[in-house]
A and B are shown apart, each in its own frame.
Chain A
Amino acid sequence: MPSALVAELQRICGQDNVFWRPDDLIVFEYDAGFDRQPPSAVVVPATAEEVAGVVRAAKAASVPVVARGAGTGLSGGTVACAGALVVSTNRLDRIIRIDPQARAALVEPGVVNLELSRAARQHRLFFAPDPASQRASSIGGNIGTNAGGPHALRYGSVVNHVLGVEMVLADGTVASFGGRAPELPGYDCVPFIVGSEGTLGIVTKAWVRLLPLPEDVRTFTALFPDIDAGARAATAIIATGIVPAAMEMLDRVTIEAVNAAFDVHLPPEAGSLLLVEVEGLREECEDAADAIGSLCREHGAFDVRMARSQAERDLLWKARKMGYPALARIKPNNYLHDAVVPRSKVPAVLREVNAIAARYGLITANMFHIGDGNLHPILLFDAREEKIERVMEASAEILKVAIDAGGALSGEHGIGLEKNHFMFWVYAPEDLEAMQRGRDAFDPERVMNPGKVFPGGAQCAAIPTERIKRGLAEGMWI
């Protein structure tokens, strides 16, 4: 029997847009990570007013609310704890307006990242954040996690590209923050909302910044005998002050996997590969490509190859962005953190990361944003035969190494359920308390996405993987 809340949601959004039967909820139990928990119901509103009505109804029923985009998150941020109601933004999918003069677009949260860039291209503009999930992930989710992507190296993460938002607050009111004009008066909550992982409210519209398409793009690969040489080259490039549009590292395991999956013909003899892209004026690209190529050779690159056509470039990026599914050819499951370390520490940290994986007997694949020090050590395993506890333990050790090197828990995936218990590795209690003050200003009853981001909450304690991580966070911190 549907609950009274479900009946009310059906009244607000229509019967077809509310899911409550257990079978219908299965796909909403998880995101792209490993934590699973069914919501009490899922509602798919089509307007901001419907979202507001839904939030009011949930509040009246004392049910917490979790916003969900495409479900491509990797940190459990959209997994519903404490019998929460999931509010899907899938039907809020309009690009309302593109303003070429202001270089801005007004979009709803369900718009797919790549669709926005496609639409902007007609005006010779683009939306810079390009997470690997961009074919599926939504702008709302990108805002929630402050997503990055390879090109965040030059252009910054989503927070650098959101000008204003309309948001449904925890009390069910619709509020707006910021806008297209610069520097509007009042506390600037927009960059605070970006990256808040749905804990402050549900974004229902956003003004995002678009940038002029660069005149020229050069994409090339530099091949190194081993990971260390490639990492040292990347560090040296950044140290000169040249900031490419993107600089990615792929290690041998990854190269083999993407070769097998995509016919991309990366040289299998390479121990590591840097995929570098430079953008800008033709002259700028030529100068930067020359300088980067020379630095790579100085640091042991045995081959530097320029993509000769758009098709070749597209293939390289496809291989990079579809690298995760490609790795499934080796083992069906992978576990991934995205810690960030100071860029000069990347070579040393990578050595430690690989040593940890070896100690646990795990195959590791490294395919990551080396230019900004954002690691993605991917531990490959088979959940049918291997215990996830061990994989999580190895991952926690990797996080510890990154934090000890002066790094951070996550560069772009978010904290969610995945890493919330590790937060006190990075922040003192008063730091976390300051963050809670900001949260409480928006949602004093903490009903928006409870149990996420902050450590120690009881709301998600029933999830088995949560208990493992909590144990690791508490046990390894000495």
Chain B
Amino acid sequence: MEIDGVAPRQVVRAERVEDVVDAIRGANASRQAMVLCGGTTRLGIGDPPDRYDICLDMRGLSGVVQFEPADLVATVRAGTTLAELAAVLAEHGLRWPVEAGAHERATVGGTIASAAGGPSRLRYFHPRDWTIGVQAVLGDGSLTRAGGRVVKNVTGYDLTKLYAGSFGTLCAITEVSLKLAAIPERQLTLRAESPTLEHAYLATRELLDTGLPLDALAVLHGPLAGELGAPSWTGVWVRLAGSGRVVDRLRAEVSASLPFVEDDPGIWQRLAALPLESETSLRLSWPAGSTEIFPGPNGGLLYPGVETMHAFGAESAQEVRLLRSVLEEKGGALVVERAPGTLRREVGTWGTPRTPAAIARSLKERFDPNGVLAPGRMAYEMAGAGR
């Protein structure tokens, strides 16, 4: 529950939504700073909180509330882990197509609140695209709902999607309704080696330009790639999914680009977890089309097509600033997801926020009037907004 070496003064365990309401009301009344904790896989992302009085542990708030397989919709409590969810859904041949890494620990609520990425981004985009309704406790303790349990819905503002990626600074997500998909009949993971990162990037670009429906695509560069089956230090992984015939056809097509061999499907969990494990991990993103890619000193994990690179290893503050300005210039971003506290304090987590400061501040003030939810974690304050 520690953030940047700071432990909360108190840990409150929520098991029912009422516990969340009570805890937040209490914090709001006494102006105590509260951080929501799930599986803690992404707890450290964000600027270190100004204050850290209470950790509200959401893991006890777990389990399925309602699941109608025939609707391809499930409603679950936010503390349910991705692995628990997957097990329940798999019994009916279904899944929530969001891969976030460390699925035994990562909670559904945390995955949505932190907009977790992973291999599934290529085909299934953002976790919010598979989230259709939410129950949330706002910073003043109001218990609210938005969205619903139907897959298409424009009944009022969809706050669900605003809360996605707000890192627990606007509300505590207590329950979510999820849109589901069928587990494909067959999935096949392939691995190829590439002589250089640039070569791998161009090869994956070629694969993407075919327009073929790839299920996931990743390039890992550096010593970690060596450990995972690519002695050249650059490995390319592709996952194909669909009926047997579809997978056979795709395998033949992708093999024209690179000499693929079959690999263990568990590799995707390994890959997705890497950014959560590296001591220093920067998330770089840019609009497609740039051929410059920037791994860290210890390499990096690239998701081509999603145009995201997780760069591993320590950089100097000066290098991070330079890289950030290059990426921001292109319309991209550099987020310091994991790093020693000194580096994070020097360069800040987020860089230039892409939301006007006045709007961000106003959202924060309205959803969390006393600023008790993870104050200081999100970019709004860095943009010069007052506290």
Contacts and interface: CB of A to CB of B under 8 A. Distances in A.
A and B assemble together: yes
B71 A343 contact: yes
Given A238-B70, A414-B154, A439-B157, A124 B181 contact: no
Interface string A138-169: 00000001101000100011011000100001
Given A181-B331, A431-B146, A441-B359, A281 B249 contact: yes
Interface string A393-420: 0000000000000111111111100010
Interface stretch (B221-229, B273-281, B347-355): B347-355
Given A191-B128, A430-B142, A423 B156 contact: yes
A175 B249 contact: no
Given A186-B355, A408-B155, A427 B145 contact: yes
Interface string B40-83: 00000000000000000000000000001111110000000000
A426 B162 contact: no
Contact of A408 (B150, B164, B349): B150
B158 interface: yes
A453 B166 CA distance: 24
Interface string A417-442: 00100010011101111110111111
B11 interface: no
A77 to B, nearest CB: 10
Contacts of B246: 280-281, 283-284, 287
Interface in A160-184: 160, 164, 169, 173, 175-184
B71 A181 contact: no
B354 A179 contact: yes
Interface string B206-228: 00010111000000000000000
A438 B363 contact: yes
A372 B152 contact: yes
Interface string A367-385: 0010011100000000000
A409 B155 contact: yes
A413 to B, nearest CB: 7
Contacts of B73: 342
A126 B155 CA distance: 27
Name, among A99, A176, A189, A437, the residue most crowded by chain B CB atoms within 10 Å (CB to CB): A437
A475 to B, nearest CB: 20
Given A101-B289, A181-B331, A186-B360, A195 B355 contact: no
Contacts of B318: none
Interface stretch (A220-228, A239-247, A456-464): A239-247
Contacts of B349: 185
The interface centre, meaning the residue of B72, B129, B205 with most chain A CB atoms within 10 A of its CB, is B72
A187 B72 contact: no
Given A373-B152, A437-B366, A440-B366, A343 B157 contact: no
A418 B346 CA distance: 52
Which of B154, B161, B286 has the most C-beta atoms of chain A within 10 angstroms of its own C-beta? Answer: B154
Contacts of B211: 124, 212-213, 215
B287 A438 contact: no
A283 B72 contact: no
A314 interface: no
Contact of B156 (A104, A124, A156, A432): A432
B75 to A, nearest CB: 11
A191 B158 contact: yes
Contact of B354 (A177, A414, A415): A177
Nearest to A281: B246
A192 interface: yes
| B152, B165, B246: most-surrounded residue (chain A CB, <10 A) | B152
Nearest to A438: B157
Given A160-B125, A188-B164, A283-B245, A239 B70 contact: yes
A340 B211 CA distance: 33
B238 interface: no
A91 interface: no
B88 to A, nearest CB: 15
B115 A183 contact: yes
Interface in B122-142: 125, 128-129, 136, 138, 142
Nearest to A211: B211
Interface in A242-294: 242-243, 280-284, 286-287
B68 A344 contact: yes
Interface in A52-110: 99, 101-104
B182 interface: yes
B145 A189 contact: no
Most chain A beta carbons < 10 A, residue from B73, B136, B158: B158
A435 B158 CA distance: 8
Interface in B240-296: 242-243, 245-246, 249-250, 283, 285-289
Contacts of B148: 406-408, 426
B380 interface: yes
Contacts of A103: 288
A203 interface: no
Contacts of A365: none
B332 interface: yes
27 contacts: A102-B287, A103-B288, A104-B287, A157-B154, A181-B286, A181-B332, A183-B117, A184-B285, A184-B353, A186-B378, A188-B162, A192-B159, A284-B242, A287-B243, A343-B70, A343-B71, A406-B149, A407-B150, A411-B154, A426-B155, A426-B156, A430-B142, A431-B144, A434-B138, A435-B156, A437-B138, A441-B363
